[in-house]
Amino acid sequence: MASGRHVTLLLLMLGYAGWASGGCREAQLPRDCEALCSFDQHGQVTSCELRAAVLLVNNSKYEISLMKVMPVLDLAVAKARSLGLLPYWLKLTFFPQDDGCDATYAQIGAIDSYSSCVHVFFGPACDYCVASVGRITKFLNAPLITTGGFTYDFTEKKVTCADEYFMTVRMGALSFRDIAFVFIDQMKRNRWKKMHLLYDTNGQNVVAGRHTCQLMMKSMVQFVKKEEIDYGTFDVDSVHVKDYPEVLRDHIGNVYSVVVMCANATTIREILLAAEELGMVDSGEYVFFSIELTSSDNSTKEPWRVVGDTPERNEKARKAYQALLTVTTRTPDNVEYLNFSREVKSLAQSRYNFTFGNSSVSTFVTAFYDAVLLYALALKESLPDKPGEVNLDGGNLTRRMWGRSFKGITGYVHIDENGDRIADYSLLDMNPETSKFEIVANYYGANKTLEYIPGKRIHWSGDRLEPPPDTPTCGYDGSLCPDNSLPGYAILSIVLSSIVVFLVVGSVFIYRHFKLEAEIASMTWKVHWEDVIVMPSEKFKAGSLYSLAPNKQRGSQLSIYSEDNMSLPGGMDRRSFVPTGIYKTSKIAIRPIPRNKVEISRPLLLELKRMKDLQHDHLVRFYGACVDPPHCCLLTEYCPRGSLQDILENEQMKLDKVFRGSLIHDIVRGMGYLHASDIRSHGNLKSTNCLVDSRFVLKIADFGLHELRKPHPLDPDEDRNSYAYWRKQLWTAPELLRMGRRPAEGTQKGDVYSFAIIVHEIEMRQGPFYLGNASNLSPREIIEGVRRGGGSPLRPFLDETSVDEEVASLMDRCWAEDPAGRPDFAGLKEIVRKINKDSRINNLLDNLLSRMEHYADNLENLVAERTADYLEEKRKCEELLYQLLPKSVASQLILGRSVIAETYDQVTIYFSDIVGFTSLSAESTPLQVVDLLNDLYTCFDSIIENFDVYKVETIGDAYMVVSGLPVRNGMNHAREIARMSLALRDTVMTFSIRHRPNEQLKLRIGMHSGPCVAGVVGLKMPRYCLFGDTVNTASRMESNGEALKIHVSPKTKEILDTFGTFDLLCRGEVTLKGKGKMTTYWLIGEKPLPQLENNNVQQVRTTVMSNNQIPAISTPRHSIYGQQQQSAQTQTSLVTGNGAPPALSPSHHRSNNTGSNSTQQQQQVNSESLPNHNVESGANAPLLLPVGSVP
């Protein structure tokens, strides 16, 4: 069969040579094809069959395949017949042929189809197949209508049959020519003069077969050359993914800003990831275009997301795709096309047993629908109305298909004069908010214009608002831009300055935090009941109200302090008094706390501290609180003039405008300060807690500490039917009355409402909430009316004849129903100042001098108290610092000087521990171990005070001491440590363990001399630490020593020999960890001083008093190896106390020179150091000091 076809093909090719020279021939049906028509009894043709070959690949992976196109052709024929384009007597039959997307098979299929009497060819789609079949169709005199033929070669002008592709009509929705026009339009629009083309040769083979992207870029080059646009090309087909960054650097680099890519989705993603890695995306100087030959759902959704990839790479890809613009064929979204797509899928399933899936029908497939309609239009113009002589000349039909427009399934179809369809394209950009690609513009090939969709724009990478230039300004690595960065020293200066500022600010915050915590913990507010002198109470003998004149009979009573008082019906006078007393020479008011026991919590401590610190001329001063049951009470400033309500109800007291203005002004100032403080609001402001002092200065009371002022939760609720319960709510704002559980602290706007009611009391002097003619309403009825609100809320009566218009306006604004409409006290201060601008407020009753003296006294007392508090806290802080750090170092920190880590050339370090301490601890209780260590270290601490040494730390049974720092003492450091070691060894030999008095405590001592570095480490809990190899060596000397012996290194022995007073015994070579073998020595004792050799032998008696009352110890300083006892010894007595004892020698003292800090280190001594050698505070142990010595 194959060989027969090849023979037929050969014969046809030989015969077609003659046809080509003669041009296109008229279509005369071959004799053997007459059977395609049916004849009646008279020999007339009644019907004919027109056969069409369909040359496509029979593989569904291709975008254009037989199983996808055949149902479209069936629907197109039905549509053409319904439109009357095909006569009733003409039947159109399709003959599908599988061309395998191969040029040879496509030619064979075409010849084989022609031998079967076909008159038109639909397809093929692959460009190589279109070229091979298109060249022979003019010899077959049959039109070739294809949706392929994308390359530049098919755009040649066709005029006569001699032209190569004269019989070829391109109906595809894609044309490389039109895609080139899209990019040329973008280049001109953005003033770009050069571009780079990156492609993968076989990147998108599913559309047009092999080499699709290569052919497309070849066509692109032909068109951009005509526009004089510079370009570069590179094929990434043979490049590994890991080499993509190198490709971008070498071929794009800092030369091209515009990159056009044609490849599959995976390659595009990897190229963009490489660009993001190089910084091309963040720079905003590069723009990438991707040519998507098929319009798919993925191209308009999230092409950057790969399901199997990691979230990190997907996020990196999402960022990279911000620099990508996609050009793809325009897909219609009208209802007609969507319905047609569903019909195609249904027909493919039922007739051809093929399932499309969820994806929509491609425009490449639907283009065959438009191809059938185009052919039917040309055929209709060529066929007679009745069967007869049928003229199917291919050249005639082809020309009739050129240069016409008609309505197809995707909209209007335009065929140019060369027989090529003019396609439309869409430009897609990623929306940065949704991270999905959206159509921002459409290119219409008919008029060659790019139209942006209203409300859409291109989001350029790097947050640019304009497109980048065609040449990078700075390049992906910034190498093209001048280096305007700061020099290294400037950056270092900025960084160091920032660190210093950060440390200073952090230190300030830390200091303030610790200061606040210290103030809270100090409980300066706390008052003991025995410190309060309660004044004896007396019955109130005056009239119903206090007079403003001094009244001795008033005694220690203060009326109307934070409680309501009023004359009740029936002559009942309900008045409450507050006890008074004396506290620290100040007269105070004592307000009982309505509970037997006060639970102290941190919020309560903080509020008590704030109350203690709150001081203002118009706020009642809070002296403190007593929480000693059963005398739980609050102590506040005593105001002898009583409450504002007392003054207002005293008919003998005349209140002129100046007095009233003064009272209002005092309330505004006091409440303004209260609202600006940490208390924030009052919550219970009324005339009964506005108190007046002896100078007629009004002060606000009963603010804050609501937790202590309210009754205990277990106490029975107040009687809600009582008169007092409703009356004390007359000052409450309506929005608070409507709350089920109103906050005890109230609100600031609620305080403004209460202020308005008080102002009305001051102006009208008729009591709270005076209603004029409606004054017979009970407080409960008034409260219900205020709570209801409404358009005309219930408010107190205003007599316009007796109240100034400005004051009336002030009240209206302050008791507005809407809290937002009420002014704050900062604004009220300005309003009241304008109202009282002509008044002599400061000269009321007491002259100006009297009030200034009052203010001066208060200020003087405040300054004295704060100064004393400051000095006390400063003293405490300094004492604490001296316990944490050496005094010389702490003094520098107190003076605000930086303490730098300091190198010491020669120091001697002492280490000791207790042999068998682990087993001893295991056999003892924790408390017994604590007592043992406390007794031992108390004894040790008292002994080392007699030497020029510094105790570094104690950890468990380990004890570390150093001499020669922080104050240098020449070469005396070794002698000081040696003498101290002898004293400690002699003392421990007679040391008694409380719970094991018969057991000998075995102290093991090691010492070494050498250089080290000392400094303060850390900001929180700073420690004075030693660093260097000397520390390690001293520790090794101790760990390799023996019980009740002093192990000395060669270096220390060398220094001790210079004094000539110490007995040392060579131990021999000892292997030390990290040091190898070392010859070490035992320190036996100290010889008598020369000036003491002729003196009598003296005993050294050391009396140690500690927490367990260790008995006095009297032992000679001698060698434990049987050496000769010293002939002269020093007697030292150690007791607790604060005396200033004489030192053992002139060098036995401590100095307070500058220490060191670990923030910097002048000299690095050794690479090895021993951590945690910090200052050991002895604050918790008894202080043992020498009180004298016996010669």
The answer to whether residue 545 is domain-embedded is: yes
Across the range 652-681, mean pLDDT stands at: 88
The answer to whether residue 517 is domain-embedded is: no
For residues 919 and 841, membership in a common domain is answered with no
For residues 354 and 455, membership in a common domain is answered with no
Place of tokens 């305080």: 751
Give the strand pairing for 1003-1017 and 902-914: antiparallel
- Mapping DSSP onto H, E and C, the string for 403-472 reads CCEEEECCEEEEECCCCEECCEEEEEEEECCCCEEEEEEEEECCCCEEEECCCCCCCCHHHCCCCCCCCC
Residue 14 in this model has a pLDDT that exceeds 80: no
The answer to whether residue 232 is domain-embedded is: yes
The answer to whether residue 492 is domain-embedded is: no
Count the residues in the chain.
Answer: 1191
For residues 270 and 345, membership in a common domain is answered with no
The answer to whether residue 559 is domain-embedded is: yes
- Which of 846, 861, 887 delimits the end of a domain? 846
Across the range 686-690, mean pLDDT stands at: 94
CA distances from 331 to 146, 156, 204, 644 (A): 19, 27, 19, 84
For residues 34 and 139, membership in a common domain is answered with yes
Domain extent, residue 223, equals: 176-329+425-463
CATH number of residue 294's parent domain: 3.40.50.2300
The answer to whether residue 888 is domain-embedded is: no
For residues 120 and 193, membership in a common domain is answered with no
- Which of 422, 445, 474 delimits the end of a domain? 422
Q: What is the pLDDT of residues 908-944, one digit of tens each?
A: 999 999 998 888 888 889 999 999 999 998 998 899 9
Across the range 1117-1122, mean pLDDT stands at: 33
**Percent of the chain residues topping a pLDDT of 90:** 33
For residues 942 and 1050, membership in a common domain is answered with yes
Question: Cα(645)–Cα(690) distance, rounded to whole angstroms?
Answer: 8
**Percent of the chain residues topping a pLDDT of 70:** 80
For residues 708 and 838, membership in a common domain is answered with yes
For residues 122 and 193, membership in a common domain is answered with no
Residue 17 in this model has a pLDDT that exceeds 70: no
Q: Which of 498-512, 762-776, 1108-1122 has the highest mean pLDDT?
A: 498-512
The answer to whether residue 453 is domain-embedded is: yes
CATH number of residue 716's parent domain: 1.10.510.10
Give the model's confidence band at 1089: pLDDT under 50 very low, under 70 low, under 90 confident, else very high.
Answer: low
Whether pTM exceeds 0.75: no
680: region left, alpha or beta (phi > 0 left; psi from -120 to 50 alpha): left
pLDDT at 947: 93
For residues 181 and 164, membership in a common domain is answered with no
pLDDT at 711: 67
Query: The tokens of 982 are what?
Result: 């002898």
Other CB atoms within a 10 A radius of the CB of residue 321 amount to 27
Q: What is the pLDDT of residues 338-390, one digit of tens each?
A: 889 999 999 999 999 998 877 668 888 889 999 999 999 998 888 776 665 66
Q: What is the pLDDT of residues 471-488, one digit of tens each?
A: 888 877 667 776 666 677
Give the model's confidence band at 587: pLDDT under 50 very low, under 70 low, under 90 confident, else very high.
Answer: very high
pLDDT at 209: 62
Residue 948 in this model has a pLDDT that exceeds 80: yes
Q: What is the pLDDT of residues 321-350, one digit of tens each?
A: 999 999 988 887 778 888 899 999 999 999
pLDDT at 1055: 93
For residues 311 and 341, membership in a common domain is answered with no
- Which of 781, 811, 846 delimits the end of a domain? 846
Residue 132 in this model has a pLDDT that exceeds 80: yes
pLDDT at 254: 85
Written as one string, the DSSP assignment of 835-894 is: HTTTS-GGGSSS-HHHHHHHHHHHHHHHHHHHHHHHHHHHHHHHHHHHHHS-HHHHHHHH
Residue 1137 in this model has a pLDDT that exceeds 70: no
pLDDT at 717: 53
pLDDT at 538: 52
CATH number of residue 1006's parent domain: 3.30.70.1230
Query: The tokens of 58 are what?
Result: 């029979």
User: Does residue 149 contact residue 234 with C-beta atoms inside 8 Å?
Assistant: no
Give the model's confidence band at 210: pLDDT under 50 very low, under 70 low, under 90 confident, else very high.
Answer: low
Q: Which of 292-301, 857-866, 1010-1019, 1092-1101 has the highest mean pLDDT?
A: 1010-1019
Written as one string, the DSSP assignment of 506-525 is: HHHHHHHHHHHHHHHHHTTT
- Average pLDDT of the chain is 79
Other CB atoms within a 10 A radius of the CB of residue 1008 amount to 28
Residue 558 in this model has a pLDDT that exceeds 70: no
For residues 186 and 163, membership in a common domain is answered with no
Across the range 618-624, mean pLDDT stands at: 94
The answer to whether residue 473 is domain-embedded is: no
Question: Cα(20)–Cα(136) distance, rounded to whole angstroms?
Answer: 10
Give the model's confidence band at 162: pLDDT under 50 very low, under 70 low, under 90 confident, else very high.
Answer: confident
pLDDT at 483: 65
For residues 147 and 191, membership in a common domain is answered with no
Residue 24 in this model has a pLDDT that exceeds 70: no
Counted domains in the chain: 4
Residue 1184 in this model has a pLDDT that exceeds 90: no
pLDDT at 98: 92
